Amino acid sequence: MGILDKKVAVVSGAAMGNGWGIAKVFGREGAHVGMLDVSDEVFEAAKAFEGQGLRVSAYKVDVTDFGAVKEAVDDLAKQQGKIDILVNNAGIAKLIPFLEMTDEIRDLHFDVNINGAWNCTKAVLPFMVEKNYGKIVNISSVTGPIVADTGETAYAITKAALWGFTKALAMEVVRNNINVNAICPGMIDTPMVRKAVAEIMPDDPQAIIDAMASGIPMKKMGTPEDIGELAAFLASDRASYITGQPFVIDGGSTLPESALSLME
């Protein structure tokens, strides 16, 4: 028996990367997972999971479109009779220096990363309130609340905003038996990171990946399944006395006080 046995979950941005890892671990732990993603790849990912015996439903949905999100969530709830878990994971990151960042690209970050989480929560929360049970996990980042690199102003705002959203929502629904927490990943090896790295150094992206890994005390990037394991714990009843908290998962990357501790 898995720690999410008989639970019904919605995971946004589940076609690849962290959302894919979260859906995989949730499925393995016994949940039925509603995979929402703007990309057609969500259908292939769902098919592959079904081939492994996991229970999933795929929906092609843009999280910025509340009507589309609600339609998918309502359909899943109708099929499965309830929704226990929501993971607000869908997100974008474009590394652009502040003075070159257009208002449109800034607003795109706000729309997907903040309003997307808002829309999914609005669509799912009534089902949780109805059953007096729920677990919400917001995928924030160490970027913004704790650290930042150049080119990350718009992205950092959105990830810091999710900390505030997590705390305020946690207070609002605490009496409905709904827990709301946030996960703050460090460097995770996903298509988002691989794409950003390929743009910085198209000739040798692996050199940047290696350089990034060498700056992490564990000397490696995390995997989407690492994020899935933490999300599964926070979405389970094992974490029932935890709410309103951010959890850093970064191989120790925010830990060193000086570069001295990273020297071989």
Catalytic residues: 155
Please name the amino acid found at residue 85: I
Report DSSP state, residue 15. Answer: S
Q: Is 146 in the site for ligand NAD (CB under 6 A)?
A: no
> Are the beta carbons of 74 and 10 closer than 8 angstroms?
no
Q: Which of the stretches 33-41, 49-57, 197-205, 239-247 binds ligand NAD when contact is defined by CB under 6 A?
A: 33-41
Is 91 a binding residue for ligand NAD by CB under 6 A? The answer is: yes
CB of 139 vs ligand NAD, minimal distance in Å: 4
Nearer to ligand NAD, 3 or 45 (CB): 45
Beta strands in 127-251 (DSSP E): 134-139, 178-185, 246-249
Applying CB under 6 A, among 10, 11, 33, 63 the residue interacting with ligand NAD is 63
Examine residue 255 and tell whether it contacts ligand NAD (CB under 6 A): no
**Of 7, 19, 56, 180, the one binding ligand NAD by CB under 6 A:** 19
Polymer length of the chain: 264
Please tell me the count of residues contacting ligand NAD according to CB under 6 A.
Answer: 29
- Beta-strand (E) ranges in 17-123? 32-37, 55-60, 85-88
Comparison of 92 and 160: residue with beta carbon closer to ligand NAD: 92
DSSP string, 33-74: EEEEESSTHHHHHHHHHHHTT-EEEEEE--TT-HHHHHHHHH
